[in-house]
Chains A and B, each alone.
Chain A
Amino acid sequence: MDLQTIMIKLQEYWADRGCLIWQPYDVEKGAGTMNPATFLKSLGPEPWSVGYVEPSRRPADGRYGENPNRLYQHLQYQVIIKPAPADIQQQYLDSLAFLGLNPLEHDIRFVEDNWEAPTLGAWGLGWEIWLDGMEITQFTYFQQVGGFDVEQVPVELTYGLERIAMYLQDCDNVFDLIWTGTITYGEVFQRVEWEQSSYSFDYADRDLLFNLFNSYETEAKRLLELDLVYPAYDYVLKCSHTFNNLEARGAISVTERAAYIGRVRTLARFCAECYLKQREKAGYPLLAGGAL
């Protein structure tokens, strides 16, 4: 099964289970969790179900397109369902079966893994899903987001699309994956990987990035005072990505690291607080609709 079909099938599967099919968010981010459709919508009492593909950038993980398993950017399929349904484990397993992974022919395991995103003030408990020894999904019941206890517990499923595709295609090198037809993952992304890795490790301008971080931070604060949560949150994401770039470039020492993470977390917390107030003021419209 090619990569594209996997994405389409997951969209189809979760759409059939009542998920709204969202889209990747157009600001750089390290994980699908940072998409406002997860971060903000996980907060508050309103029900919410979405599924979407998210390209996730991790500058420090780049390997110039030379490592068969490591990428600057990888693709996640992200599902958020709030509140978590009682049969969510089964729903997840059925989604694997829908991709052709018959649970009777594999060793599928739920292995403890507690997820945490310190820049978002978010954490949860759950598992890594192992398919014959390989981690293919992160399965998390959120407990806190933006420093707030969740009111309704969302479940987050994060499928590692390249990993699953490599398994299904019996492929040892991510760049050999078939995306569709005769086009490989390498043809789409190998040059991108090389350029982005070069930028992150060798050419990123430290001074510029430090300045950008400060400007983004100031802007986020200013916007939050105007109660403009979404644009403010965009700048929080920019802060986070800039921090990741600085770290990959080796510009941040271990001591400074904690302070930078703290600064992003503070902003994320403000956004969460502001968003919660907005929804409360609006009277939680999704509660009444109940459509999702």
Chain B
Amino acid sequence: MTVCYNLLMEIGCEEIPSRFLPRAMGQLKTEAAALLADNRLGHGTIETWATPRRLVVLVSDLETKQTDLVEKVKGPPVDRAYDEAGQPTKALLGFIKNHGVSPDSLEQETVKDARYVVVQKETPGRMTEEILPELLPALIRKLSFPRPMYWQSKDVRFARPVRWLLALYHNQPVTFSFAGIQSDRFTYGHRFLAPGPFEIDSVNHYFRCLEENHVVVDQNRRRKLILDQLKEKALEMGGEALIDEDLLEEVTYLVEFPVAVDGSFDRSYLDLPQEVPITSMQNHQRYFPIVDRESGRLMPHFVGISNNRFHPNIRKGYAKVLQARLADGRFFYNEDCREPFESYVEKLKSVIFLESLGSVDQKRARLVELCGMLGKKMNLPDERIEKAKRTAHLCKADLVTSMVKEFPELQGVMGREYARLSGEAEEVALGIYEHYQPRFTGDAIPAIIEGALVSLADRIDTLAGCFAVGIQPTGSQDPYALRRQAQGAVAILLGFEMDLSLEDYIGSALETLSTTLEIDQEKRQQLEKSIYDFLIQRIRFVLRDRGIDHDVTEAVLAVPFRTTADLVKKAAVLEEYLKGPLLDDVITAYNRVANLARNAPGDSVDKNLFEDVSEKELFRSLKTAEENLKDLDDHAQALEQLQLLKQPVDNYFDNVMVMVEDKKLRENRLSLLAALKKSFNRVADFSKLPAP
């Protein structure tokens, strides 16, 4: 039976940024597993934990010894290993010496047509306690951080300075040094409540010791402690905590000993748009706002998570800082409200959008025009188009208000509020807010057409503009988040089933862009193509996300399509019928037709050249299908229409020889096939689908 013991390592640091920790824990676990595997060390589970001041890994049941390594080592070729007298040459003697093997154990083996001296080499496994002092510092070095620093010598980097190292195996210290620190069996408790150091005599006592010294090492437990306390405090205040998941995670990694502290602010700040106090609480102070359980309305209370035992100072301080921020917010709000919202539009002239793409005011003007163009192309009612244009006119104006300059995360929100105050139509106010949606993958798309139209216009304008000045995402580089912009545009085109082709969408944007930027014909064509391809990439992504088979995606993308929404619907239908008799028939018929149709000179057919009845039959069926397909937007019905062609196609091939000597006859028959192919291609390129 193998003997196993637990291994524990704690990397003690100055406060590591909370956003680094989840990833660091994952890495610690993966790298530990990889290192142990490379070193032929068997083990049980590997668990990791993190607090702001420590990264911890526990390897359970780590074997005390490496498994032995048996490997065959290749030496010199036989003809160079022995001299004419059959005595070992220098080369062979060197080989024997290097590997420390006995001459008796030498064997010979053929490797790629040549005979070599080989030897079976056995490396006995080393003791775990002997290897760990090499392994653990190597493990620490494997951890990488988004922005590492050095604090002593340049070749040692970590998230923040490492200040102590605890490493125990079989309850004995594993001694090594990293960044000038000697590992030992000591840890430190809560920075203020129980600084330590504390000696850990057994791996099993580690958690208890830290718990006693006010450090909750387990992040899941900290998270739960926070949630429980939030609930309790909120209940006392007669409301419930508004819990933002990202904030909860951040706070979990900001404290070692979470203690909820409740506080209140002046009720008069509730007159501000809700988002203002909420942003101050969540983004600036990392507090949890309290809302009314029934109405969901903000209450003048909050809960902050302190890293220390309760003291009235803390409650007072928390409230005071928030109050100062809210006072600032009110000051900005009143300041901004002094002038009508419209007047801020003028100031957009002094804000640069992107270097050579002019000011935000120029963008504004383009968006107004673009909304008009797109709205007309989609045949939207004039009244909605006008409102969308008004929305576009105002949508960036809040960028130059004091509030948004101070709280950039409130862009859109303040625009909506100031527009309302200035008496704009509700659709315009809401549209201003919505034009930033979706802000991230999975975020809601706009709910009203004004918001959707401006969002579409804004996205394609940014995309076209960036592409035009040579800013295109490459690999992981996408500084202007163009992929996200495009993904959002596709989501809106789909969500609203916009009656707009990609060609019109892109073309309109390039047209309005040319008011700012000179774009010649050649450049325009090249931009149309690259932007089109870029959007198609995003559509592929959507299709994959919706579980559409890769072949189906290629089949529908290979032929022209009317609108993005229609394309996606079509893909869904093909996916549904994939590997079913209906679609199989269509594919079979298509493949028979398409193979030969390639050689056709054109697709105009001369009925007078028909000889066989099956030709006439096929032609008639084709005409019927063409007629029926013309205005059909139900893709399942379209497939049924195409399926009706299978029998005539089969009959045709059974009775007619296409590749006859007579050129006229042959070309006419090929043209009929080409005409057929064209009808199929109204739906998809079925050759991309697996043949039955």
Contact = CB atoms under 8 A, between A and B. Distances in A.
Interface of A: 67-69, 83-84, 86, 89, 93, 103-112, 114, 124-125, 127, 131-134, 141, 143, 149, 153, 167, 172, 250, 253-255
Contact of B254 (A69, A83, A109): A109
A209 to B, nearest CB: 18
A133 B311 contact: no
A110 B15 contact: yes
A105 B316 CA distance: 12
Nearest to A103: B192
Chain A interface mostly: mixed
Interface string B159-193: 01101000000000000000000000000000111
Contacts of A253: 350, 352
By Cβ-Cβ distance, the 6 closest A-B pairs, closest first, are A132-B317, A112-B17, A110-B15, A254-B352, A107-B306, A133-B321
Contacts of B328: 69
B308 A104 contact: yes
Contacts of B311: 104-106
Contacts of A134: 317, 320-321
Contact of A133 (B19, B304, B308): B304
A103 B19 CA distance: 25
Which of A68, A86, A110, A253: most chain B CB closer than 10 A? Answer: A110
B308 A153 contact: no
Which of A103, A114, A127, A132: most chain B CB closer than 10 A? Answer: A132
13 contacts: A67-B331, A104-B192, A104-B309, A105-B311, A106-B314, A107-B308, A107-B317, A108-B308, A125-B160, A143-B150, A153-B151, A172-B320, A254-B351
Contacts of B161: 84, 86, 141
Contacts of B285: 133
A250 B14 CA distance: 41
B147 interface: yes
B317 A131 contact: yes
Given A104-B192, A143-B150, A254-B351, A112 B19 contact: yes
B114 interface: no
Given A109-B254, A110-B52, A111-B254, A255 B355 contact: yes
Interface string B183-213: 0000000011100000000000000000000
Contacts of B308: 103-104, 106-108
Contacts of B324: 68-69, 172
Contacts of B287: 133
Interface of B: 14-15, 17-19, 52, 147, 149-152, 154, 160-161, 163, 191-193, 254, 261, 285, 287, 304, 306-309, 311, 313-314, 316-318, 320-322, 324, 327-328, 331, 350-352, 355
A145 B147 CA distance: 17
A108 B257 CA distance: 12
Contacts of A124: 149
A105 B18 CA distance: 24
B401 to A, nearest CB: 16
A109 B193 CA distance: 14
A134 B324 CA distance: 10
B313 A133 contact: no
Contact of B318 (A84, A86, A105, A132): A132
A168 to B, nearest CB: 11
Contacts of A141: 149, 151, 161
Nearest to B16: A112
A153 B152 contact: yes
B149 A143 contact: yes
A153 B150 contact: yes
Contacts of A67: 331
Nearest to A63: B331
Contact of B151 (A84, A93, A149): A84
Contacts of A89: 14
Contact of B163 (A86, A103, A110, A250): A86
B149 A125 contact: yes
B355 A133 contact: no
Given A132-B313, A153-B151, A107 B15 contact: no
A26 to B, nearest CB: 33
Nearest to A114: B147
Contacts of B52: 110
B191 to A, nearest CB: 8
A118 B655 CA distance: 81
A67 B406 CA distance: 15
A104 B193 contact: yes
Contacts of A86: 161, 163
A131 B191 CA distance: 14
A78 B285 CA distance: 25
Contact of A108 (B160, B192, B316): B192
A141 B17 CA distance: 14
B265 to A, nearest CB: 12
Contact of B313 (A69, A83, A105): A105
A143 B150 CA distance: 7
Contacts of B15: 109-112, 127
Nearest to B306: A107
A110 B191 CA distance: 11
Nearest to A135: B321
